[in-house]
Amino acid sequence: MPMPYYVSPEQMMQDKAEYAKKGIAKGRSIIAMEYVDGVLLTADNPSASLHKVSEIYDNIAFAGAGKYSEFENLRKAGIRHADLKGFMYSREDVTGRSLANGYSQSLGTIFSQEIKPLEVEILVVQVGGNDHPNEIYRISFDGSIIDEKNVAVIGGKAEAVQGALKETGSQSPPTLESALNLCVSALERTTNLKLSSEGLEAAVLDRNRPGRKFRRLSIDDMRRLLAG
Amino acid sequence: MKLPYLPNHDDSSFFDFISTHHPGLMLSGQGGVSSMSVATTDQGRQGGNLSMPHATTVLAIKYRGGVVIAGDRRATEGFQIADRRIEKVFKIDEWSAMAIAGAAGPCIEMAKLFQTELEHYEKLEGMPLSCEGKANKLGQMVKANLPLAVQGLVVMPLYVGYDLKRAEGRIFKYDLAGGRYEESDYHAIGSGGKDARNTMREHFRRHLSQEDALKLALTALYNAADDDVGTGGPDLVRGIYPTAKCVDAQGITDVADDAIRSAYDGLIATRRSREA
């Protein structure tokens, strides 16, 4: 009887990681940036209906880069988790931290146990109210979770975009208008393409809104903010 | 794809999701009817024998461009008043509201479940349900409650929504088996529902202004409270008044307490002058 090939665990993990990274880098970038009233999420996304950024709960948003079918599943699972928790306990008991932990556990388990890892990188963003700081969690394909401050980038040429943002970034949080302009110029510089409002997807978690804080920016909104 | 820590399921209904995976959270508890249902059926039919907060008047009236929904504030337990400030009119989402009659606990829980259901659908699908779709979903939830209703825990909703496509307000009533019927002008349910309907029948006209519709709603509630022990009128000593919400093209708005109080002040002054 033939013996199965031996592959060392290190080699196997490395192969999986390379495979996942390649898939994620093929896509386009998404930026989460804190601004004065909350957090802005900007994605380079030519589709008007297949969203990369969406609402999870009152003050929590989700962004996914990589394979659409895979992060869409994660998004739905997150909404179920949040709605169930909010129904069982109370709306204020739904936190970005517990959601990010759930995602991290799921992605980590899939990465180590399944043959094919998920080719996704996701952001869980929670806007803080009453002097609580905002929370931005970046979760990678292997379940590693990073607590980001001020700005986070996933997908595509994430490091290049991060670099471009660092050059122009300031210490105090920008207004919505300048935050959107910063994000768009960083995306344009790394892709060498002029991005029109139609090719962008943007949404905010605005702490001044009553109830559900998530709001998509319409094409008109974006045009106005980018022209100003 | 299976997510070990955030298990995924297929459809967009929160109600279906918890009834399959978390039946303990449902109104009917672990899997519905128990063996005691037969024993309590007769008692349930007699209604008043069960010591459950009960009895109500809630109503809805259409006006030009929208619909007003209002309810009294009294909950009773047998011959006792269980609560003087209970809220029977609930905002469900930006474009709809529901009022309830029946056993207070399950009623409030159904309103909460229905709110979650609609928000859940909207987030998963990326767009809200249609007005008709929401009304049908509520019918299914009432139907699922039938085993409990037989035991006496009746939940009877009155649902109003603004139909964005048709650009008009709509009123839906239900029966215990989940049957859903649309009302064209006005409706009232609860122990004082008949009294409120009598008032509305006399004074309702098509295309009322919002102000007149609200006044009619408050008058109907006042008359219902006059004739029905289960319905609370305005409590002038404690300052407790019925609550009302309006649903129209601008979305849902609460009618301010001051507006309701001044409407009742006028109404009571008229009635008092009649007695003199």
Catalytic residue positions of B? 56
What's the rounded Cα separation, in Å, for the pair B219 and B224?
9
Average confidence (pLDDT) over B120-132:
94
pLDDT number for residue A1: 65
What's the rounded Cα separation, in Å, for the pair A45 and A191?
13
CA B104 to each of CA B76, B84, B151: distance values in angstroms, whole numbers, following the listed order:
9, 13, 14
- Tell me if B139 sits within 8 A of B114, measured CB to CB: no
Phi first, then psi, for residue B186 (nearest 5°) are: -160, 165
CA B73 to each of CA B230, B253, B257: distance values in angstroms, whole numbers, following the listed order:
10, 19, 13
pLDDT number for residue B47: 44
Residue of B nearest to A73 (CA): B8
What percent of chain B lies above the pLDDT cut of 70?
Answer: 87
Residues A52-105 have pLDDT tens digits of: 999 999 999 999 999 999 999 999 999 999 999 999 999 999 999 999 999 999
Which SS3 state, helix, strand or coil, does residue A198 take?
helix
Using the Cβ of B11 and the Cβ atoms of chain A, whether some distance falls under 8 Å is answered with no
| Contact at CB, B18 and A79, closer than 8 angstroms | no
- Tell me if B157 sits within 8 A of B169, measured CB to CB: no
Confidence of residue B8 (pLDDT cuts 50, 70, 90): low
Q: Which of A55, A56, A60, A84 to mutate to test the interface with B (most CBs of B within 10 A)?
A: A84
Our CA-based measurement puts residue B233 at a distance from the nearest CA of chain A, in whole angstroms, of: 32
Q: Cα-Cα-Cα-Cα dihedral of B208, B163, A205, A26, to 10°?
A: -160
Residues A176-218 have pLDDT tens digits of: 999 999 999 999 988 888 888 889 999 999 999 988 999 999 9
Q: Which residues of A touch B4 (CB under 8 A)?
A: 105-106, 109-110
Which domains occur in chain A, in start order?
27-227 (3.60.20.10)
pLDDT number for residue A27: 87
Answer whether 0.80 is exceeded by the pTM. yes
By Cβ distance, the residue of B25, B112, B124 closest to A76 is: B124
Q: What is the distance of C-alpha B37 from the center of its chain?
A: 26
What's the rounded Cα separation, in Å, for the pair A160 and A166?
10
Average confidence (pLDDT) over A37-44:
95
What's the rounded Cα separation, in Å, for the pair A166 and B264?
62
Using the Cβ of B229 and the Cβ atoms of chain A, whether some distance falls under 8 Å is answered with no
By Cβ distance, the residue of A49, A55, A102 closest to B5 is: A102
Residue of B nearest to A62 (CA): B123
**Kind of pairing between the strands at B180-183 and B168-174:** antiparallel
What's the rounded Cα separation, in Å, for the pair A216 and A35?
15
Residue of A nearest to B2 (CA): A110
CA A30 to each of CA A140, A153, A156, B156: distance values in angstroms, whole numbers, following the listed order:
14, 6, 8, 47
- Tell me if B169 sits within 8 A of B161, measured CB to CB: yes
| Contact at CB, A79 and B124, closer than 8 angstroms | yes
| DSSP secondary structure of B77-127 | ETTEEEESS---EEEEETTEEEEEEE-HHHHHHHHHHHHHHHHHHHHHHSS
In A, residues 163-182, which contact B (CB 8 Å cutoff)?
none
Residues 6+ apart with CB under 8 A from A128: A59, A134, A135, A207
A42: β partners: A31, A202
Residue of B nearest to A89 (CA): B25
- Tell me if A200 sits within 8 A of A184, measured CB to CB: yes
Residues A155-180 have pLDDT tens digits of: 988 889 998 888 876 778 899 999 99
Average confidence (pLDDT) over B84-113:
94
By Cβ distance, the residue of A84, A110, A118 closest to B18 is: A84
Backbone torsion region of residue A21, taken as left when φ is above 0, otherwise alpha when ψ lies between -120 and 50, otherwise beta: alpha
- Tell me if B66 sits within 8 A of B210, measured CB to CB: yes
Average confidence (pLDDT) over B106-128:
94
Using the Cβ of A85 and the Cβ atoms of chain B, whether some distance falls under 8 Å is answered with no
A154: β partners: A30
Q: Which residues of B touch A79 (CB under 8 A)?
A: 120, 123-124
Using the Cβ of B116 and the Cβ atoms of chain A, whether some distance falls under 8 Å is answered with yes
Q: Which residues of B touch A78 (CB under 8 A)?
A: 6
A145 vs B39, residue with greater confidence: A145
By Cβ distance, the residue of B6, B22, B113 closest to A77 is: B6
Residues A146-156 have pLDDT tens digits of: 999 999 999 98
| Contact at CB, A51 and B8, closer than 8 angstroms | no
| Contact at CB, A49 and B120, closer than 8 angstroms | no
Q: Which strand (E) or helix (H) includes residue B214? A: helix B210-227
Residues A111-149 have pLDDT tens digits of: 999 989 999 999 999 999 888 999 999 999 999 999 999
Nearest to B142 by CA among B174, B96, B171, B182: B174
Q: Which CATH superfamily is domain B51-275 in?
A: Aminohydrolase, N-terminal nucleophile (Ntn) domain (3.60.20.10)
| Contact at CB, A88 and B116, closer than 8 angstroms | no
B246: β partners: B68, B253
Q: Which of B1, B11, B127 to mutate to test the interface with A (most CBs of A within 10 A)?
A: B1
By Cβ distance, the residue of A51, A56, A73 closest to B126 is: A51
What's the rounded Cα separation, in Å, for the pair A202 and A143?
26
Using the Cβ of B79 and the Cβ atoms of chain A, whether some distance falls under 8 Å is answered with no
Which SS3 state, helix, strand or coil, does residue B184 take?
coil
By Cβ distance, the residue of A73, A83, A106 closest to B120 is: A83
B2 vs A76, residue with greater confidence: A76
Residues B173-221 have pLDDT tens digits of: 999 899 999 999 999 999 999 999 999 999 999 999 999 999 999 999 9
Which SS3 state, helix, strand or coil, does residue A7 take?
coil
Based on the number of CB atoms within 10 Å of its own CB, is B178 exposed (0-12), middle (13-18) or buried (19 or more)? Answer: middle
Q: Which amino acid is at A91?
A: R
Using the Cβ of B119 and the Cβ atoms of chain A, whether some distance falls under 8 Å is answered with yes
What's the rounded Cα separation, in Å, for the pair B257 and B235?
13
Mean pLDDT of chain B: 87
Q: In what order do the strands lie in the sheet with B66-71?
A: B186-189, B58-63, B66-71, B243-248, B251-254
Confidence of residue B48 (pLDDT cuts 50, 70, 90): very low
What's the rounded Cα separation, in Å, for the pair A80 and A85?
8
Based on the number of CB atoms within 10 Å of its own CB, is A18 exposed (0-12), middle (13-18) or buried (19 or more)? Answer: exposed
pLDDT number for residue B31: 44
